[in-house]
Every structure is written in structure tokens, then in C-alpha cells.
Amino acid sequence: MHKAGVKKFPYYVGVNSLAELATKDDKVCVLNILGNESKAVTPTSHEYSGGNVVFGTGPGRSGQALETKLGPIPVYNSIKEARAKGLKFNTAVIYLPPSGVKDGVAEVVRQNPDLKKVIILTEKVSIKDARTIRAICQANGIDVFGGNCLGVADAWNKVRIGGALGGNKPEESLVKGSIAIFSNSGNFTTTIATYLLTKGWGTTTSISSGKDVYIHFSPAEFFHALDNDDRSKGAIIYAEPGGYYEHGLEINKPTVACVVGRWKAKLTKACGHAGSLAGSGDDARAKEKWFMDYFGVKDIYTPENPVFSKKGAVVTNIAHIPDALTKVMELNKIKPDFEPKGDLSLKCWFGNSQGLKLPKELDALVVKAIEPYAEQIEIISKQLGAQYPRQSMKDASGATMMDAKTQLTKVYNVSLLDCSKKSLEENLVFSLIKDYPDEYGRTLANLAFNVYVNMHGDAALIAADAAREAESSPNTALASAIAIIGKGRVKHAVNEASLLLELFQHSGLQNATDKFDSAKILKGLTAEQKELFTEKTPHSAIRIPQSEGDKSVFIKFVKEAAGGKPSSDALLAAIWMTLGWSALMRRKISKSTIINLPWYSRIFSAFVAASVDSSKHEKDKFCGVRSQEIIEKWSFTETAFLALIGRKPTADELFEFSMLLGLLISNGPGTISAQGCKGGVSADGPEDPTRVQINKAFIGFLTHTGFAHGGNGYEAIAFLIDRFKDKNLKSPADKKHGLNLKAIADEYAKWYGKYKAKEKAAGNIEYMKVPCVNHPVFKGKAVNYDPRERFVNSLFEEKGIYNVFFDFYHNLVQTLFDNKVSENVYCVNIDAVIAVILLKMVWEPFKAGKISEKEVETAAFTTFLFGRMIGCAAEIDDHINRGRNMDTRTPASSCSFVG
Amino acid sequence: MQLTGLLWGGKLLKKVEFPCADVLGPEASVDEIKDLIKKKGQVFIKPIFKGGVGKKGKSGLIGKASDITAALQEKERLYFAKHPAGTSKADGVTFEGGVPAKHEVYFSLSESTVFRAPTMTITHHGGVDIEELGKDKIKEIPFDPLTGLKSFHIANALEELGAPSEIISPLVQHLPKLWTLYNNYGMNVLELNPIRMFQDNAGRLIPVACDFKCSFDIDDPAWKRLDLPAHLFASDYSEFEQEINQLRTYQGQSDVFVINEKGTITAPTFGGGANALVTELLGERATISSDFGGNPPYTKMLEISKIVFKYWLGQSNVLFIIGGKANNTDIYETFRAMADALRWYFQTYGPKPIYVVVGRGGPNLIRGMAYMKDTVESLGLPYRFFGFDSAMSEVVNYALKTDEWMEKEGKKQLKEKMGI
């Protein structure tokens, strides 16, 4: 059953002429108008067409609007609601996901008796839904275009309905002329229109038909409507294998048919267009033959073998369309619409042979692109640094990612296992620069961090002390100190970094340690600028030996600019420009990041500094060690260890400590600490990066840690202390400890087995669990391993590092199984690794009574904060670069009330 | 996604209570086979091929036996039989009870692009290839999908064909059930050939399906309701294709097809049209044919690219990123994803001597090309990026010539430059 339409067809067709297909009278409703694709495409269509979209729908979105240059397009919950407001339309454009398309069509047909056209953009609509849609629309007298099409456009009427024909600049491709286009490929609709320009042909109506199994508006309808369109003097049809839509056509105007896809005869399943899977008689060769028969030609048209007739030509390469059309039209005495625009020869816009000796035919020279692209290339070649499109970064990160399967987190694509082989200072640099520093870079980073660790007399320490006295937790005390490291504290260094960036950004310098003559830049400096780089106090805090300073273009430059007396801020800025410059030039980091590096640097120093109370900050000493020695000889990792344990680490301890910090860096953007720092950025509004308070974002991280997140590592330490405090364990690093670990584990396993049975019998399922064994992912095998623990274990074995607590844990999981407490051998998980390393570090002073259990707990928590500071720095910088203002908020509709 | 044979087809037919020949799977015991022979007089032994294959009968791949010895001999012959029409290898056999009958019927349901409607094809001259029959012996009947296949469609068709009157009524009763199966479980082809008209004790004719073939629409999730084991379709897809298919969502295409496992040009292609054209021109030099158009989001494109590179970059001379002037696909997002995946590949698998050729247009083109350029520069790879005003076929030709040169001497030169 179908409504009466154009009489010629045994089914309903409403469009009698191509001129009626996309007109200024067509009024459009877009279903799912606020969907991602529609949101990007609909405004352009609306503006190009002079405002043809009347409204859109989006369930639950009534009252919202889609902004366009012609004003907002209102959004309603449903068609019914919009119709009740008196809004009228004759065309529906469907942007719904595939499972909703059929229902969307049913709704719009049911609710709007004026409906004449439906255009379905959605891909992957099921065949069942496609046939149902056809039946509904046939019964109601509606023409359907798509699915998986890009809609229709008319260059004469300047109207585009549906998808993105012509992209974001439709006027570039859709130039008024005399050729109609029908194409199975949306992209080729535009590409063919662009190609036609090179021979002076413009277009009338362009139809992207889609190439699903069902093509509702097919070539038969197209050629009928072509005949009735006086504007169209000829046509192009692009067809692929599969389906009989091109069979038995009546073609009366000069036409070039392009059939592509002979290779698809070997397909056993669709690849590319869903309907482009041929059966026995509808493959590409069959279709070529159909068209050759229509045109009365015996071969395919190629430039070498130009076979054509007055009726048309068949090509198998879209690049041959303009030539073939021109030849066919010549026979019909029809001249091109305008002078040719451009040509189709190879034009290389970007290229580099990397010094290879290429044969001449491959050595395509870079040519100037057509406008406006040439201008964009020029602008972008001048642009510095990474540029990211802004998007909501709620629960998303461009810095860290945790693989739910492996439980492995990566920071900038580097696994934490690899990060854990690096030092604290290397990881801190990496968190912001996205590259690990070389030896020289590491020296500079240590200097920058260590020089600000002694904060003798600084208000930040007083704030932290006050917080500790008030019995606040270690993270709270640190947050109090970090609050003092605000923008005002670093403004000189940040300003000087900005100035260095301004001076060098177009200098051609690629790497700060390259040989470079900065005499010209130096000469151009104003007196004020030189003044900015000069130290005002008698002594600069930072002193860099000549031999080291001369390696960096920036350090040398600020020294010379300041007449040999550079300020600490200038040197700090120069150090970080040295570290970050290459990454900036390779667009790995943004300008905003490089300018703010001194601020991050001061915050990192303050984290370590304020982790000990002010009594440890003497005029010339930090934790009892001469500050100058620390600045000149210590790594920042060693300084952090000093702050925690009160002494310099041994080589093995340094390795273990670095590893521990590396493992703590991140667990992805979903962790509370990451959420805290991201919220801090979001609330300041990253769309104006200069307003974001980086120290406040770190406070967000700190306030989002606590006794449950960060402090919980102590649970395992307390467990181990209980097992070992009465044992005569002198050094946990000594393999000859003389203890029977298996017996200790066995004793505990037996006790635990009884305890567990008793609690279960009493109906308590919240009984105490053995800390740091078993894992929700790494379980269920006869013997289970956490791969991260295995990695650390193998590294320790390789280095000959022994840890009695680690050994105990391996004994424990076996004895738990032997005593039938566990069904299989549990894994020792990564938290155990953290606990055993930490306890090993503090065991001797603890056992000697030099530090209390409370201090051990503080040390464990602070260690977590040091490690997590690295990951949160990456998270903060990433969110500043990519995020939107207030993007971490949760809409009220997603919140629940549980009162 | 195709299913052939009665082993699984029988289970599907049961869902709509359509009679089907008795069938035993490869695990059937000697006693079970003996019982079937006893009950039915004879059994047919057919190899089980996964996915779609050509005709088994034509290739001598159907055995017949009336005693257990012959049945077991045929089992041995056919258990790992190789189909001459392709590379498919059997994985076991079925034993199907014989259905004595005077009449054989061919019946299928499919989507017709001629009628643009679901269409029944029927003839009472079944049991042979449908293509071998004259048009006058077959009826193709399109029908309204909203009301479905009705008894009168079948009665009218058989009457017009001049089918024996005794078979009309039983077919009219049973065949509409097949529309339920076809329509409710996402099929786009369902073919039963032959349906044998078995006479029961009361003298009534009953249509019994003696072979089964169907194909499912990958875009219709309804087939998942059948709980068919995944291995049934595994042979339809290579390991690589299966990995990519896991990312199949409606946001962005992710169609791939392995062209030549020894190919040397890997071409992530954007758009169905470009897919058709580029694959045609690259021929056997391509590793895969692909369509990644439809504006895939960054994360999806990154994952797809990682899989493509993991499987194919190691053997490739040329990484060829090609598409027309995109209408809607964000070039910056897709290029950023591919560039990041390329960097990941080099970090994970080490540097490889690859020449990068790009031909593309669309929104954010220059930002995307600049990102890609920075990445390939930092990896030390040679490259040429062409604007969309270069003919796509010419860019393909450039990639082909580059591949030839790389094979001959470029790869060696580049390895030295990169210190590999």
C-alpha cells in the first residue's frame, strides 16, 4: 500500500523535479539536534540555507537551544510539544543513534501530517528497520533519503538539508552550475563537485544517497527528476557494487557514470558501504555494463582511451569524471559553466625526505597550498607549542590512563612500571614536559628543586606548623603551606619565562643546548627588560657554575642580559626554559605550560620543604644537612628521603624509594586525588589559563587524600609491625636475618583461619581481611600473581636487593592456602610492595625508638603524597590545557537525593 | 555472518516449530547413529563448515549410508574435508536422517533491491541450484514488512507455478513461521533447500527442512538473542578483523577487510567511496581495505590505529592515510589519534623504516596535518602530504611508486638513516 505520487512509479515518489528537492520553502526539524554530530553540522547547514531549521528535538532537553550565527534554534522534548507551539515543517532530518531511527521516523510521521521528506544521516541502521521505515513512509507519502547519507544540497537555491555536504564551507564545493550529482558516497558527492570545478562545471542539485541495502531515493527517481529540472543540463552518477538500483534506468540527459569497486567481488562480508556487497549479477563489472549499454559505448573512458558518446561515458576513477563530462558535453554543444578553477595535479603541501636520495618522480616539491589553507599553514608554522581543542575533562584525562584489564596505569603512554625505574626529579620533569630529561636536564632540575627546599623563616612553614599543632593530617598541613605558594610568589619567574618565550619563539632555536648565537636578541633588549633579569639583592639564591650555565642558551642569555648578575627568578625561568624548550618546539607542550614551569617547580620544592616542621629549617641547614651541600651535590630524591627519614639514603634505598614513588604516581583520572586537583582547575576556569591557580589545584589534590586514600598504606605497615615488633629483626635488608618466616606466617594463618571461621559463624561478613593480599582482577588461578608485584620482585632480584617483609608476604600467601584459609594461592598485591619498601626504610629508627608508630604512619602518608604529586601535576597541566570552565560539575539531573 | 547446515539451523527452526530432519552432531556415538539409521533407513553425512561456503552437494561432499560401517567410513572421509571453492576446512560432520519424499521445495526469504521489500522466492522444483531453473519455474513475491509473509502469498505463488495441489496446504500452514524467524532474529537471508514433503502415518504431507542457510545483519543486534556460540562466526573474520570489530559502534565506521597478508602498503582509508576506489587501485599491494570515516572520536580512532599498526606496520613500506575532502570528519582529531598511535607503535615495537603518504581534506585539515607532520618529523620518517586538490588516484599512484622504491632501495637507505 502506498500513497499516490509521481504516476510513473509503481511505488510512492513525491519529488518530480530536482529543483523541488532542496528549496528555500523547505522547513526542517532535526531529531537529536544536540547530538555530537548534529551540533557540529546543523549550524552550518542552517546558516548556509538562510535559516531553514525550525526546531530540533532531544528528549529531556526542552528549553535548550542550538546556537547559530542566525540565532538560536529552539529544542523541544518531542515533535508533539513543538507542534503544539504551532511550529510547522515539511522535512525531518534524523541524527538519532541506529536503534532509535525507526522510532524517530514513526514519531515524526505520526505527529506531522505536513511531512514530505525524511533524511536519515545515521549509519548502521539495521535492514529490518530500513524496510519498516520504507513501509511507513510509502504508506504516508513521504520521500526518504539515506540512511548513512549526507543529505541533499542545491547550489542554486543555496540550501543544504541533512548532513554536511560541502563540509564546514559548503560554498567552496557547491558552486552554481548545470550538473546534477547522485552519489552512493557522501564524501565523493563533495569531492566530485570539487573535481568538476577544475573543468569549469558547477552543480545544481547534489544527492548523497547513502549505500545501505535499502536506497529509498534511487537512481531511477533521480533520473526522472533530472529530466524535469531545466537547470540541470547533465549529470554525474557515482555507483558501487551491490543492488539492482542502476538496472533498467531511463537516462535522457548527458551523464557520466562512475562505477568503482571491482575488487569487492571477492568480498564475503561488507567493507565500507553496508550495501556494497554484490551478489551474482550486481557486481561492479555488471554495473559498468549496464551503463555502457545505456550510453551505447563499448569501453570504459580513460584519458588514454577516451570512449564516450553523446549520451555519456563510464569511468572507474573519479579523477576522470571532469574530462569525460567535458567531452560528452562538447558533443551536446554544451559549454562549461565558468572558467576552470584549479587542477587535479599532485600538490604536496607538507614534505620532508629526511635526507634520503629519492628518485625524481617521488621527490615532490612542497608547493603553496590554495587559499585559505596557505594562510593557515603560514599561521600554524608560526604557532608554538601544543594546541588542544577544549572539551569537558570530567572523568577524562589526556595525561593518565588506567587499563582496567591489566590494572596498569600509564602516564603520557609510559607505564608506571617504567616510571618507577626513574628518579623523583626525572618523573617530576616528565609529568610536565612529557619527556625524561637527559643528564644535564637532571642536574638543572635538581638545582631548581633543591635551592628552594630550605624555607627558613617562610610563612608557608608557619602555616604548616600551625596546622600540625591543630592535629591536622599530613596532607592538610601540606595544603596550608602550598596555599602560600600563590601566583604572587612566582610572578617574577613566570614573567621572565614569558619574556624569554617572547624573545626566542621565532628565533629558530630548536633545542636549548644547541649552538646558537643570541647576540641579536641580546642587542634588541630594552633597559627595562635587562632590569627584569637582574638580581636586586646582594646575592642570588641560585648559582650556576659557568661550565654548566654555558651549555644552555637561556642561562647564558640571562646572565649576559643581567650583566653577570642574574636574579634567582631569571635563572629559575632560564632553567625551565632549557628543560621545556625542545618539547615546546615539537608541540608536545603548550606555551601556557612552559611559562608556568617555575611555579610548579616552587610547589614541588615546598611539598618536600613543608613535610618537616620549621625546626628542621635552619638558616644554612635543612634537616641537619648544609643547604649548600644539598644544592650542589644532592638529588631531589635524596632530599625527599632526608625529609622523611632524617638521613641520606644508601644506593639501594634510593633505588627502592624512587621505585616506590614511581608506583604511586597515578591510578588514572578517576581516583579521588586526581578528581580533587581537576576540580581545582575546573573551578578557576581553564579557558583562561592565566586565571588558574596552580597551587590551589594542588591543594585540591591534597584535600582529596586522607586516612582512607593515601593514608591507608599504613594498615599493611601496622600489620607487619605486629608480626615483627617482638622478633629480633635488626636489618630488613639482611637475608641472614635468622627468622623463620614460614613459621611466623603459619602462626598467623592458623590464627586467622580460626578468627575468620568464628566471625563467619557469628554472621559477621565484615570481618578483618589480611591486608595487601588477593586482588579483584588477579584471582581465580591455582597460584595468582599481580604482574606489578612480579615486576618489582624481578627488579629486586636482579639488583640483589632483599626485603624481609616482602619475603614474609610471599610466605604468607602460601601458608594461607596451606592452612585452607584461601581457596588458591592469593597474589601479593601492589599495595604490599609499597608497604614493605616503606617499612624497610623506617625499620631501624623505629626499632631503635627514634621514631614512633605515629611518625611511621606520617612518613607512609607523606610518601604517598610525594609520589602522587607527580601524577597530579600531569593531571593539573592537562586539565588547564584541554578543559572547559566548570567542566567537572555533575548536572542536577544525574544527582540523586537519598533523604 | 552466515550459518549453514542443520546442526545449528535445526535449533533455530525449532524456535518457530518448523519441522526439520533429525540431525546428530560430530560427537554422536555409534549407537546413536545406528538408531538413526534404523529409524530413517538411511543417513546423510555432511561436513560442517563454519560461515558461508559454496554448494556441498556439487563438490561431492555429501555422503549417504544405510549401515553403520558405511556411515563411519563417510565420517572419516568428510571429517576434515576441504571445500574446493575456498580455503574452508570442515570441522566435523553431521548425520542427518533421510526424509523419503516425492516432492522437494525451495524456499528463501531475502531483501530485494528490485522490489525494495522483503521477498519470498519459492519453487516446487527444489533440491537443485535455484540459478539452474528457468524463470517460469520460480516465483519471487515481495511483501509488506509491516504485515509480514502471509499464507495467501504462498498459496497464490504455488498456484501460479502450478504446484501439485497436495503440497500447497501444508506449505501454507508452515512457511509463514519462517518469517517470524527471519524478522525476529535479524536475518537478511534465510534459505531452505530442499524442504522435503514427508508423508506421515496418517497420509498427511509435512514440509521437513533438509538443509539450512542463513545470514545475519551485523547491524541488527537481534541475532544475539539466539545465544549462538561465537566460534560459529569466528571463521568469517580474521583475528585482526575480530579485534577491530570489538570497537564497532555507530560513532564512526570501523570496517576492515584483509586484502593481502603479505601486502606492503597499509592504508587507513576514510569514507566508503575512498574505500572502494583506493582498494581497487592498490590491488594486492594493500594489506587491508578499510573505512574509518564517519567522524570517529579520538579514543576510538586511537584504538583502531593501534590495532592496525600492531598487525600491519611491521611489514609495510608505506603508511598511506587517504580520504577525500571530508564533510564532517574532524581531521585534527583523527590525525592526532593516528599520530599518537604511530608514536605508541614506535615506543612499543621499536622504530620501523616507513614512508608516510597522506591525501586528505576536510575540517581542521591544516591543524591535523601539522600534528601529523610534527609526529613523523620527530620519528625521523620521510613523508609527503597532499592537499585534497590533488586527484585521489594520483596520490594513490604516488603511494604505489613509493612502495616500489622502498622495496628496492628506500627501506635500506632509511634503515641506515634511522640507525636500525
Q: Is the pLDDT of residue B39 over 70?
A: yes
Q: Which domain holds residue B368?
A: 237-418
Interface confidence (ipTM) of the complex: 0.84
Q: Name the strands in the sheet holding A143-145, side by side, starting at the edge strand that comes first in the sequence.
A: A65-66, A73-76, A53-57, A28-31, A91-94, A117-120, A143-145
Looking at chain A, which residue has its C-alpha nearest residue B54?
A268
Q: Is the pLDDT of residue B54 over 70?
A: no
Enter the DSSP assignment of B410: I
How many structural domains compose chain B? 3
Alpha-carbon distances of A682 from A481, A494, A678, A689, rounded to whole Å: 22, 21, 6, 10
Closest Cα to residue A82, out of A106, A96, A63? A63
Residue B124, burial from CB neighbour count under 10 angstroms (0-12, 13-18, 19+): buried
**Cα distance between residue B251 and residue B261, in whole Å:** 28
Whether residues A352 and B377 touch (CB distance < 8 A) is answered with yes
In A401-430, the residues whose Cβ lies within 8 Å of chain B are 413
Whether residues B328 and A240 touch (CB distance < 8 A) is answered with no
Radius of gyration of chain A (CA): 36
State whether B378 and B262 are in the same domain. yes
Question: What pLDDT score was predicted for residue A154?
Answer: 96
CB atoms within 10 A of CB A890: 9
Please report residues of A whose CB lies closer than 8 A to that of B325: 167, 173, 187, 190-191, 194
State whether B268 and B203 are in the same domain. no
In A274-333, the residues whose Cβ lies within 8 Å of chain B are 274-276, 280, 282, 316-319
**Cα distance between residue B193 and residue B214, in whole Å:** 11
Question: What pLDDT score was predicted for residue B148?
Answer: 95
State whether B386 and B273 are in the same domain. yes
Diameter over CA atoms, chain B:
86
State whether B76 and B108 are in the same domain. no
- Please write the tens of the pLDDT for every residue from A651-681: 999 999 999 999 999 989 999 999 999 999 9
Residue B11 CB partners (closer than 8 Å, separation 6+) = none
CA distance A241 to chain B (A): 9
State whether B347 and B372 are in the same domain. yes
Among the partner residues A131, A215, A351, nearest to B118 by beta-carbon distance: A131
State whether B391 and B261 are in the same domain. yes
Whether residues B144 and A135 touch (CB distance < 8 A) is answered with yes
Contact A350/B at CB under 8 A: yes
State whether B260 and B385 are in the same domain. yes
A–B CB contacts, 8 A cutoff, strictly below: 285
Looking at chain B, which residue has its C-alpha nearest residue A150?
B327
Question: What pLDDT score was predicted for residue A379?
Answer: 86
State whether B94 and B104 are in the same domain. no
CA distance A126 to chain B (A): 5
Spell out the SS3 assignment of A519-532. HHHHHCCCHHHHHH
For residue A556, what is its C-alpha cell? Answer: 647564558
**Site from A263, A323, A358, A365 to mutate, B interface, most B CB atoms within 10 angstroms:** A263
CA distance B357 to chain A (A): 9
Please report residues of B whose CB lies closer than 8 A to that of A244: 113-114
Contact A775, A828 (CB under 8 A): no
- Please write the tens of the pLDDT for every residue from B80-89: 877 766 656 7
**Cα distance between residue B15 and residue B20, in whole Å:** 11
With a cut of 70, which residues of chain A have pLDDT below it?
A: 1, 268-272, 274, 278-280, 711-712
Contact A519/B at CB under 8 A: no
Please report residues of A whose CB lies closer than 8 A to that of B358: 350
The CATH number of the domain holding residue B31 is 3.30.1490.20
In A39-68, the residues whose Cβ lies within 8 Å of chain B are 40-41
CB atoms within 10 A of CB A99: 16
Please report residues of A whose CB lies closer than 8 A to that of B365: 373, 376
Question: What pLDDT score was predicted for residue A230?
Answer: 96
Mean pLDDT value across residues B198-219: 90
Among the partner residues A273, A317, A381, nearest to B272 by beta-carbon distance: A273
The answer to which of A590-594, A879-883, B30-34, B347-351 has the lowest mean pLDDT is B347-351
Alpha-carbon distances of A803 from A733, B292, B373, B375, rounded to whole Å: 5, 51, 49, 43
**Cα distance between residue B210 and residue B204, in whole Å:** 18
Residues paired with B359 in a beta bridge: B322, B386
The pairs formed by A439-447 with CB atoms below 8 angstroms and a separation of 24 or more are A440/A513, A440/A548, A440/A551, A441/A578, A441/A579, A442/A635, A443/A548, A444/A548, A444/A552, A444/A575, A444/A578, A444/A579, A445/A575, A445/A579, A445/A636, A446/A634, A446/A635, A446/A636, A447/A542, A447/A544, A447/A575, A447/A631
Alpha-carbon distances of A238 from A118, A209, A602, B81, B293, rounded to whole Å: 22, 10, 63, 43, 18
3-state DSSP call for residue A376? helix
Q: Is the pLDDT of residue B53 over 70?
A: no
Contact B87, B55 (CB under 8 A): no
- Residue with C-alpha cell 547513502? A210
- Please write the tens of the pLDDT for every residue from B260-280: 999 999 999 998 888 888 998
Question: What pLDDT score was predicted for residue A529?
Answer: 93
Radius of gyration of chain B (CA): 27
Residues in chain A: 899
**Cα distance between residue A546 and residue A543, in whole Å:** 9
Residues paired with A238 in a beta bridge: A183, A258
Amino acid at A685: G
**Cα distance between residue A759 and residue A691, in whole Å:** 55
Give residue limits of the domains in chain A. 18-26+90-331, 392-419+664-673+714-892, 420-663
3-state DSSP call for residue B167? helix
**Site from B320, B327, B395, B402 to mutate, A interface, most A CB atoms within 10 angstroms:** B327
Alpha-carbon distances of A787 from A405, A768, A818, B155, rounded to whole Å: 11, 25, 23, 67
Looking at chain B, which residue has its C-alpha nearest residue A270?
B255
CA distance A369 to chain B (A): 7
CATH homologous superfamily, domain A18-26+90-331: Succinyl-CoA synthetase domains (3.40.50.261)
State whether B259 and B148 are in the same domain. no
Question: What pLDDT score was predicted for residue A490?
Answer: 96
State whether B1 and B122 are in the same domain. yes
CA dihedral A800, A806, A810, A811 (to 10 degrees): 110
- Residue with C-alpha cell 637582574? A534
Domain boundary (B228, B247, B279) is at: B228
Q: Is the pLDDT of residue B250 over 60?
A: no
Enter the DSSP assignment of B407: I
Residue A858 CB partners (closer than 8 Å, separation 6+) = A474
Please report residues of A whose CB lies closer than 8 A to that of B116: 11, 131, 134, 214-216, 218
State whether B163 and B305 are in the same domain. no
Question: What pLDDT score was predicted for residue B227?
Answer: 85
State whether B165 and B276 are in the same domain. no
Closest Cα to residue A380, out of B373, B290, B282? B373
Looking at chain A, which residue has its C-alpha nearest residue B283?
A263
Looking at chain A, which residue has its C-alpha nearest residue B182?
A128
User: Angle B331-349/B298-312 helices, nearest 10 degrees?
Assistant: 40
Enter the DSSP assignment of A266: G
Please report residues of A whose CB lies closer than 8 A to that of B279: 263
CA distance B57 to chain A (A): 19
Domain boundary (B203, B228, B253) is at: B228
Looking at chain A, which residue has its C-alpha nearest residue B179?
A128
Contact A737, A731 (CB under 8 A): yes
